[in-house]
Structure 1
């Protein structure tokens, strides 16, 4: 009997070791891991530079309090500010906490309460973040949620124009909807939303929890579109697996989050901050990001080419190293078959296989993944169970 709440539909895989793009399970099976801990291990598992930084901090201290000065938090905040073009940072423990803080910041700064979010969006499972999320399955059974969120169709600028007015505190948007199905915002839509925010005095919040820290080939995904947000949230890839989140905001918001206005006991933990600094030192290099763009184009292009004749596949889309393969059937059975073929991938919505490989994955590893995906999707139909020989 397990004493864990069954909040996760767990795979029958227990990891005991991981390195680079690979994960080894308790039964000795070695997997090519194209989940990266759901977009967390952007530098692969156990990157040496991050390990070194964490070990150094472990020998100094693990926790004190945010009542003390912290030069390491200051350095991490500076790196985020420089990478984003924004000014001030608050550190939390997770993406959901970062989004909660962003919502609080926007409401307090504007004196307004309504926030527009989008269908298929995912902003977290805490109460406000869950209310903001545009997926009903996340909300089932929890009773009345916050009624200040307005959910709109994604990539529909005409609809947003019809509901936007001076009562809106903020628009909160993912440039690429990761959990919702890997839907990429269009240039016209994203720039149009930015324009409407300025017109009506609303703040623009970009949720970069899954797409930030180099995942798309820029520091942040919104930078592909020359957008100038007021608030950016980040978490997953920031510290290579150590728990952390952050809210990054413009200078005009500094006075809103003054002493006592918000806080977190563990936010900006010294070990997580050390990991974040080491991670950013590698990811925020222009040469590194250019290679990520090239790898992403290579992987998407090869998938589109090799899956183009597979009737099961409706679409292959993405940006950089976040990629969705939309099927004509539910994806879960195919994800399981890919595990049998020693490849780990993720769902995104009901019918999408999502790939989040390490940004450090080699072309050879990407070729292996494309080969295995093509084999499974070409050989198996829903309801059939052909024996697949593992690698």
Structure 2
């Protein structure tokens, strides 16, 4: 059967507007489309394929497990799930792990845990979840409500209640809002969809202090910035603040769907038998691939490469910013980098993305005003240089604003 972009419009729900390009294979930092045109991948499937395409260790893990056991449900457990959970506990603050299939499901579990923990230990009055404008935590009704972007909730009312949104990095607003009624403060160490905006150390430290004072859980959403992308396995490990709960997905499976909620023993105790679950969560295939990906992304070699390539990328973007005047430098952590468009180009991130694609470079937007670059963590120095060269060509084609 021959399929084209037109096939999408004929058979798919119209909630996406994908590119006309249909990739059919990938290797490392590159993908090829139906016409065998090659593209450098500086998107990683929205920070998912952290080890590039068709990494041999992930292929080997999947193939080996595929010949053994695919699914059991959580009526039983399985070796790959226990091995991956043990590795996550070994490498992080966490004592306990819950597996699911996506970042939204990991956040759904975390928010339910926060409410249950507060209700069990302190009573039903303690139910306020504090989140932040421009946050993104998933597309379930609960997670999209906790996320602070009205465009994702319009038309889906009535929304779950008990959620307060504050300005990100606003110390005074945070201190004024957290109280005895608060069950959790939820934040991304680097807001992804909100424009690649890092939290300040002062903001994170205050969130920790207030949660401790008012017996609330501090939840870090590291779905996008985790799994080596920030330059450490998880961003919290270089920010001086440890959460009670952390959610992760995307790069955890290197492209195979898997998500996880990590928690301290004390927090996790509230999700007792029967309070939450997932039919596919922790399935052997996902966990076998996840263990292979986690072992690789936590290695010193990968994390050292993230640091080196991050410097190379940001230096290159600074040169392009000066030369073309389309964006103003960069911000972010590791290999999750945003390039904010200058005033004359505000709202035109899609134009830059399309121009880059014409030159064989796949990049992303983080809203209409910020370019997002998230290349594989193991990208080579040569491929990074080539990607910057292609971006420069695209910017030349666009021309400077009038």
Distance 1:358 1:284 in 2: 14
1:336: which partner in 2?
354
1:53-92 CA distances to partner (integer Å, 9 max, x unpaired)?
1001110121112111322211101111122221100000
Are 2:224 and 1:226 aligned?
no
- Structure 2 distance, partners of 1:162, 1:311, is 40
1:209 is matched with which residue? 223
1:316 alignment counterpart: 330
| Residue number in structure 2 paired with 1:16 | 24
Asked if residue 84 in structure 1 is aligned to residue 92 in structure 2, the reply is: yes
Question: Which sections of structure 2, spanning at least 5 residues, go unmatched?
Answer: 1-8, 120-125
The answer to whether the Cα contact below 8 Å between 1:32 and 1:343 also exists between their aligned partners in 2 is: yes
* 1:165 matches 2:179: yes
The range that moved more, 89-98 or 320-329, is: 320-329
Q: Give per-residue Cα distances to partners, 1:8-37, cap 9 Å, x unaligned.
A: 111011111111000000012110011111
Give the secondary structure class of the aligned counterpart of 2:50.
Answer: coil
TM-score, normalising length from structure 1? 0.95
Question: For residues 304 and 330 of structure 2, what CA distance do their matches in structure 1 show?
Answer: 22
Contact preservation (8 Å) 1:117, 1:132: yes
Q: Which residue of 1 aligns with 2:6?
A: none
Please tell me whether residue 365 in structure 1 is matched to residue 383 in structure 2.
yes
Structure 1 residues 135-144 or 205-214, which shifts more? 135-144
> 288-297 or 9-18: which moved more?
288-297
**Structure 2 matches for 1:3-82, cutoff 5 A?**
3-82=11-90
Q: In 2, are the aligned partners of 1:180 and 1:349 still within 8 Å (CA)?
A: yes
Q: Give the whole-Å Cα distance in 2 for the aligned partners of 1:354 and 1:178.
A: 9
RMSD across aligned positions (CA)? 1.5
* Per-residue deviation, 1:130: 0.5
| Structure 2 partner of 1:351 | 369
For 1:210 and 1:200, the matched residues in 2 are separated by 28
Residue 305 (structure 2) aligned to one of 265, 283, 291: 291
Q: Which residue of 1 aligns with 2:105?
A: 97
Deviation of 1:191 (Å): 1.0
Verify the 8 A CA contact 2:325 2:400 in the aligned structure 1: no
How far has the Cα of 1:144 moved from its partner? Answer: 2.0
- Residue of structure 2 equivalent to 1:388: none
Separation in 1 of the partners of 2:399 and 2:309?
30
Give the distance between the partners of 1:115 and 1:71, measured in 2 at CA. 35
The answer on whether the counterparts of 1:333 and 1:382 sit within 8 Å (CA) in structure 2 is: no
Q: Is 1:243 aligned to 2:257, yes or no?
A: yes
Residue pair 2:314, 2:329 contacting (<8 A) in 1 also: no
State the Cα distance separating 1:173 from its structure 2 match: 0.3
Question: What does residue 122 of structure 2 align with?
Answer: none
**Higher alpha-carbon deviation: 298-307 or 162-171:** 298-307
Unmatched segments (≥5 aa) in structure 1: 385-391
> Which one of 244, 261, 278 corresponds to residue 264 of structure 1?
278
Kindly indicate whether residue 133 of structure 2 is the aligned counterpart of residue 115 of structure 1: no
Matches within 5 A, 1:135-214: 135-214=149-228
Identify the range of structure 1 (43-52 vs 310-319) with the bigger mean alpha-carbon deviation. Answer: 310-319
For the 8 Å contact 1:57–1:271, the answer to whether it is kept is: yes
Residue 382 of structure 1 and its aligned partner are, at CA, apart by: 8.5
**Shift in Å at residue 355 of structure 1?**
0.5
| 1:308 Cα deviation from its structure 2 partner | 2.5
Aligned mates of 1:24, 1:382 — CA distance in 2: 30
Q: CA deviation at 1:352?
A: 0.9
| TM superposition shift of 1:375 | 2.9
Q: Secondary structure at the match of 1:377?
A: helix
